[in-house]
């Protein structure tokens, strides 16, 4: 009978010690990750799991780049009957990238200086227009009437520093001149009221 009492007393001491250790850890607010095996249950003590809140994704840089790009020039306001017409910023020239029955060309009409001598085979207006065609360098136009005036008589201004690219030609403007060139050949012209050149 006496040995049973000793064993029971020892069991109470072990249980009491384990309880006070758990209470001390809870009171101090600390957590344990110990895997010490209890002598009574032979099971590991639970390990507290922690979770990390999900991070906020960084904003996409693609949308920032797209919004920084300049808006393209709206060509629709220049279009008339499958051709494109505009006036120079100073109003001195009526210009167009026009589709004709046998060819496509870009040109401008208006007074410029100097004007080369009239060729022998030109029996109509000379020196009032300059153009570039599908082949060859730019040159002055021999015509019987307006070629680059919009059919409805309204040619919107092509703002300085803008480009209009259509039908294989590109025209650009500054405050004082207009330059048009054939995208394939690189030939073209530059025209202003007091100067001009063909290339």
Range with the lowest mean pLDDT among 12-16, 124-128, 160-164? 12-16
Task: Flag whether pLDDT at 71 surpasses 50.
Answer: no
Backbone torsions φ then ψ of 63, nearest 5 degrees: -65, -35
E strands present in the chain = 79-80, 83-87, 94-99, 104-109, 125-132, 139-143, 163-166, 169-173, 178-182, 188-192, 195-198
Q: What is the mean pLDDT of residues 163-173?
A: 97
Q: What is the pLDDT of residue 154?
A: 86
How many residues appear in the chain?
Answer: 199
Residue located via tokens 């012209």: 189
Q: What is the distance between the alpha carbons of residues 88 and 196, in angstroms, rounded to a whole number?
A: 14
Report which of residues 159 and 1 the model is more confident about: 159
Report which of residues 6 and 174 the model is more confident about: 174
Beta carbons of 107 and 88 less than 8 angstroms apart: no
Q: Which of 137, 111, 136, 138 is nearest to 126 (CA)?
A: 111
pLDDT band at residue 27 using 50, 70 and 90 as cut-offs: very low
Range with the lowest mean pLDDT among 76-80, 90-94, 146-150, 159-163? 76-80
Q: What is the distance between the alpha carbons of residues 71 and 106, in angstroms, rounded to a whole number?
A: 24
Task: Flag whether pLDDT at 194 surpasses 50.
Answer: yes
DSSP 3-state of 151:
coil
Q: What is the distance between the alpha carbons of residues 18 and 15, in angstroms, rounded to a whole number?
A: 5
Q: How far is CA 33 from the centre of its chain?
A: 55
Is this structure's pTM higher than 0.85? no
pLDDT band at residue 77 using 50, 70 and 90 as cut-offs: confident
* DSSP state, residue 57: P
Percent pLDDT > 90 in the chain is 58
Q: What is the mean pLDDT of residues 121-150?
A: 95
Q: What is the pLDDT of residue 164?
A: 97
């Amino acid at each position: 009978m006496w040995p049973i009492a000793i064993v029971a007393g020892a069991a109470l001491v072990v249980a009491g010690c384990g309880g006070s250790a758990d209470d001390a850890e809870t009171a101090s607010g600390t957590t344990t990750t110990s895997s010490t095996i209890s002598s009574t249950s032979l099971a590991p003590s639970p390990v507290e799991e922690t979770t990390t809140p999900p991070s906020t994704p960084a904003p996409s840089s693609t949308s920032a780049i797209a919004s920084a790009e300049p808006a393209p020039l709206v060509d629709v306001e220049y279009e008339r009957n499958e051709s494109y017409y505009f006036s120079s910023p100073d109003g001195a020239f009526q210009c167009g990238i026009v589709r004709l029955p046998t060819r496509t060309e870009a040109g401008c009409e208006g007074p410029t200086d100097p004007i080369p001598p009239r060729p022998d085979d030109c029996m109509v207006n000379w020196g009032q227009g300059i153009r570039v065609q599908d082949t060859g360098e730019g040159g002055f136009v021999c015509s019987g009437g307006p070629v680059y005036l919009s059919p409805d008589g309204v040619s919107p201004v092509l703002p300085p520093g803008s480009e209009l690219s259509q039908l294989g030609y590109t025209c650009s403007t500054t405050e004082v001149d207009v330059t048009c060139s054939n995208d394939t050949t690189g030939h073209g012209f530059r025209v202003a009221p007091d100067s001009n050149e063909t290339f």
